[in-house]
Each structure stands twice: as C-alpha cells, then as structure tokens.
C-alpha cells in the first residue's frame, strides 16, 4: 500500500503487535517459568513475569537429570533430544529421498499401470496416521521394531504429499531438457543427479523444514512404539515430566519445553531463505 495516513499506520502496527504478543506470550511465560525455582512457581499466583535466578540450575536438571531439592528424580532430557533429532532427521531425509525417486519414476518412465500407481500413492493422502495406526502398529511389532529407531521412523517415511509435490515440480521441467540430456549422453540416473536434483533444491529445502518439524513433533506414534525410556523422544519427555511424578517440578518442565522448541526453531531460522524460495520460486 502506498497510502500515507498516520492513523492507519498506527492501527496496522497495533494489530500486528497484538498478534505477535498473543503468539509470543505463552513462549515468554514458559521461558520465565524455566528461570525460577519450583517453590517460586508454586507459591506465586499469578506467576511472576520477572525472570528468576534459577536459570542454570533448571536447565542443568532438565538436560542431565538428577535429584531436586523437593526430593523427586528428574530423567535427563539430553538423550531424548538425541532420539528426537535422529528420528526427525531420518524421517525428513527418508521422506525426501523416497518421494524424489518415486516422483521421478512416475513422471519420467513409461511403465504399465503408471497412472494406477500414482493414484494409489495419492489415495494414501486421504488416510491420516491415526486411521491406520492399528495395523501399522501390528506390522511394526511383528517385525520386532518396537523400541528401535526403525520402528520410530520407517512407518512415517512414505509420503504421498512429498511425492505429489515433486511430481508437480517435475512436470514443469521442460521436455527439451530431458531430450538435451539424452543427446548429451546422460542416462536416467545421471539426468536425475545432474539436472533434476539441482533444479529441485529449493523445493527440497522447503520440504526438509516441514518434514523435520513434522518428525520432531510426533507424539502419538512414539507413544505406541516406545516402552523403554532410552527411546523416548523429547515430546514424550515433557508429558512424562508432568504426569510421572508426585510433585511436578514446573521449572524443569518449562526448561524441557524450551529445549524441545529450540531445534525446530533453529532449522527454520537457518533455512528460512531457502524455505521461502522453495515455496514461492517459479524460476526453473
């Protein structure tokens, strides 16, 4: 807009700031909580909005576990962060590789029932994880994959959304490019590596961000397939810290929540430029 009306600018800013405040306030409260002691949180009502002095202690307890002054035992979050990180990475990288390859096959190879295969993949979009969670659990448990990284990640790797996205992208790549590569002597896989993959890198980046966060935030599925503590992802850790103990150490819970929020935030911040490019770029 190029209108210059101070009142309007002021109003626009007010609404924007209000929006930001609504989003940021809970995160801020979480952070403030994590800097106070458990007693401070329990005794103050409402919660004080000034940072306390217990920052280092809360995070040390959350990360490495130990006994609190209240007498409860805290499980360390550091290994859970590692489990979450590995699962999210495997899910994101796995989803992207499989989708790239299946989209490549669907778009560039003529094989019998090609359309049928595409529609079969597409139809799985209609079924969310929750609907097929029973049979999936059965399969994973029969294969002995409970409490393993494979059990946490493999069932979540197949992705119709990503396949569909790459298919649509590949369809926009001009046919002449394929033909030029054929004349240059590039076989199918060579074309895939040298031409298609570099052209898709912005879409890959955008998808990586989305899928990493998707993998990191998985709750229901890890809840089912992990029973041993050393395979808990951090999202489960938060829940356990709240319901597992007699006396809830809220400062540690808050610290855990902040720790769980950090990696996805870092991924978004680091890949923001690519992410936006991948979503809006039309240049081929």
Partner 1 sequence: MASLSLRQVIKRYRTGKTELQVIHGVNAEIADGEFVVIVGPSGCGKSTLLRMVAGLEEISGGEIAIGPRVVNQLEPAERDIAMVFQNYALYPHMSVFDNMAYGLKIAKVPTDEIRQRVEKAAGILELGHLLTRKPRELSGGQRQRVAMGRAIVRQPQIFLFDEPLSNLDAKLRAQTRLEIQKLHRELGITSLFVTHDQVEAMTLAQRMIVMNAGHMEQFGTPEEVYNRPATTFVASFIGSPPMNLLHHAPGNRPGQILGIRPEHLDVASDGWPVQVETVELLGAERLVHARLGDEALIVRLHEGEGAPAVGSTLTVRPRQDRLHAFDATTGQRL
**195 or 223: whose CB is closer to partner 1?**
195
> Under a CB-based contact definition with an 8 Å cutoff, are residues 63 and 77 in contact?
yes
* β-bridge mates for residue 73, sequence order: 67
What mask, x for binding partner 1 by CB under 8 A, covers residues 152 to 181?
A: ----------------------x-xx-xxx
**90 or 181: whose CB is closer to partner 1?**
181
Neighbours of 194 (CB within 10 A): 13
Stretch that binds partner 1, among 104-112, 134-142, 190-198, 245-253 (CB under 8 A): 190-198
Q: Residue 6, class by beta-carbon neighbours within 10 Å (0-12 exposed, 13-18 middle, 19+ buried)?
A: exposed
Query: Does an H or E element contain 74, and which?
Result: strand 73-74
**105 or 195: whose CB is closer to partner 1?**
195
**101 or 189: whose CB is closer to partner 1?**
189
DSSP-assigned letter for residue 47 = P
DSSP-assigned letter for residue 195 = I
Kindly tell me which residue out of 29, 195, 223, 279 binds partner 1, with binding defined by CB under 8 A.
195
Query: Does an H or E element contain 23, and which?
Result: helix 6-34
d(CA 266, CA 256): 16
Kindly tell me which residue out of 190, 217, 244, 269 binds partner 1, with binding defined by CB under 8 A.
190
Does residue 281 touch partner 1 according to CB under 8 A?
no
**199 or 223: whose CB is closer to partner 1?**
199
Stretch that binds partner 1, among 44-52, 184-192, 236-244, 267-275 (CB under 8 A): 184-192
Does residue 109 touch partner 1 according to CB under 8 A?
no
List of residues 6+ apart from 277 with CB closer than 8 A = 202, 205, 206
**13 or 190: whose CB is closer to partner 1?**
190
The SS3 call for residue 185 is coil
Stretch that binds partner 1, among 33-41, 76-84, 134-142, 192-200 (CB under 8 A): 192-200
Number of residues in contact with partner 1 under rule CB under 8 A? 18
Does residue 186 touch partner 1 according to CB under 8 A?
yes
The SS3 call for residue 126 is helix
> Under a CB-based contact definition with an 8 Å cutoff, are residues 242 and 253 in contact?
yes
Point out which residues bind partner 1 (CB under 8 A). Answer: 174, 176-177, 179-186, 190, 194-195, 198-199, 283-284
């Amino acid at each position: 807009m190029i209108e210059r009306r101070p009142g309007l600018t002021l109003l626009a800013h007010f609404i924007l700031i209000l929006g930001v405040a609504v989003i940021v306030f809970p995160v801020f409260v979480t952070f403030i909580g994590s800097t106070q002691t458990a007693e401070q949180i329990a005794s103050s009502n409402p919660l004080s909005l000034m940072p306390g002095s217990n920052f280092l202690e809360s995070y040390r307890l959350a990360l490495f576990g130990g006994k609190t002054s209240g007498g409860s035992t805290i499980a360390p979050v550091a290994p859970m962060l590692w489990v979450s990180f590995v699962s999210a990475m495997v899910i994101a990288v796995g989803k992207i590789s499989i989708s790239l390859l299946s989209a490549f096959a669907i778009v560039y190879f003529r094989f019998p029932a090609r359309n049928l295969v595409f529609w079969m993949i597409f139809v799985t979009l209609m079924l969310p994880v929750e609907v097929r969670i029973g049979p999936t659990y059965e399969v994973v448990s029969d294969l002995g994959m409970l409490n393993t990284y494979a059990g946490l990640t493999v069932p979540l790797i197949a992705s119709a959304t990503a396949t569909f996205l790459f298919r649509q992208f590949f369809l926009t790549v001009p046919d002449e490019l394929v033909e030029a590569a054929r004349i240059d002597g590039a076989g199918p896989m060579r074309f895939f590596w040298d031409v298609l993959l570099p052209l898709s890198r912005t879409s890959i980046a955008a998808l990586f961000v989305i899928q990493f966060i998707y993998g990191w935030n998985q709750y229901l599925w890890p809840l089912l397939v992990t029973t041993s503590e050393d395979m808990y992802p951090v999202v489960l850790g938060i829940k356990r810290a709240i319901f597992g103990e007699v006396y809830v150490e809220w400062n540690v819970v808050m610290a855990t929540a902040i720790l769980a929020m950090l990696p996805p935030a870092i991924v978004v911040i680091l890949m923001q430029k690519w992410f936006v490019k991948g979503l809006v770029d039309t240049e081929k």
